[in-house]
Chain A
């Protein structure tokens, strides 16, 4: 089994991990706020972990909604990105995993940014976030700012995996750990 399937696996490691949330489909505001609120009612989460997972979840879910190459048209005419969101619990961590197809053109800057993020310590990341946030040439909803915030909140590296689908598209999977 390749690692992407391991990341998204629902049934391979039930003895060592529990699935707390599993969703696959269109990711619009309604789903994001519903699942976001649901994080607050999961009994197993500590207050600190809940707050962190909530913040990380919103950024990652928004990225699926805006940047997934798999678009779904809803009844109200809006087109939203579709993808997979899983919250797993292991002995030591909670792991939020998202997966969605992404256009290869969008992939290169995300990969470069993620590599950069993973090479920075906490204080350097804060400085990087400030630099990116005040750079008016970067779009306000750029996924790069969101990923910096995700890494800062998590306190762990971004675990990214890419699997090519065809010449134009790849499957993008991101796992983020939050310590218990």
Chain B
């Protein structure tokens, strides 16, 4: 299974950095997400997770370090987290860490809402933006 690496950019749109590693099971989504076509960008990530969780079935660590994402992206993040929850329910080992600016109360509430929506335990890891 191929790894996915997409280098993030901050130009006409904000493309997040994606590092999905099939050998280590470590997946990282970081940066900012404001895309011209959100579905086109996230569908391959959804498919990758579906393939990993049905064929590779090794322990996974999913790291989210997004400082900004728009509401279109928020739906796609829900899709990703739902796959991880299904994997966990089927016996898969999964750790989800979500890093967020300690002063960003809205982001903190967003993460809490994702936990309620998915039933997935998400480790909320605040950071100091100046040190990030």
Contacts and interface: CB of A to CB of B under 8 A. Distances in A.
Interface stretch (A1-9, A11-19, A125-133): A125-133
A146 B71 contact: yes
A29 interface: yes
Given A126-B109, A126-B113, A140 B10 contact: no
B47 to A, nearest CB: 16
A129 B14 CA distance: 23
A51 B104 contact: yes
Given A55-B68, A140-B38, A140-B72, A33 B104 contact: no
B70 A130 contact: no
A89 to B, nearest CB: 21
A52 B106 contact: yes
Interface stretch (B20-28, B56-64, B74-82, B89-97): B74-82
Nearest to B11: A33
B13 interface: yes
A153 B68 CA distance: 13
A134 B76 contact: no
Contact of B12 (A30, A62, A146): A30
A134 B103 contact: no
Contact of B70 (A47, A48, A52, A59): A59
Interface in B105-131: 106, 109, 113, 116-117
A153 B14 contact: no
A51 B67 CA distance: 10
Contact of A129 (B10, B104, B113): B113
Interface residues of A, number: 28
Interface of A: 28-30, 32-33, 36, 47-48, 51-52, 54-55, 58-59, 62, 126, 129-130, 133-134, 140-141, 145-146, 148-149, 152-153
Interface of B: 10-14, 34, 36, 38-39, 68, 70-72, 74-76, 78, 101, 103-104, 106, 109, 113, 116-117
23 contacts: A29-B12, A30-B12, A32-B34, A33-B13, A33-B14, A33-B34, A51-B103, A52-B106, A58-B34, A58-B70, A59-B70, A62-B72, A129-B113, A130-B117, A133-B71, A133-B75, A133-B117, A140-B38, A140-B39, A145-B74, A146-B70, A149-B71, A152-B109
Given A52-B106, A134-B117, A149-B74, 11 more contacts: A29-B13, A30-B12, A33-B12, A55-B106, A140-B39, A140-B72, A141-B38, A141-B72, A146-B70, A149-B71, A152-B109
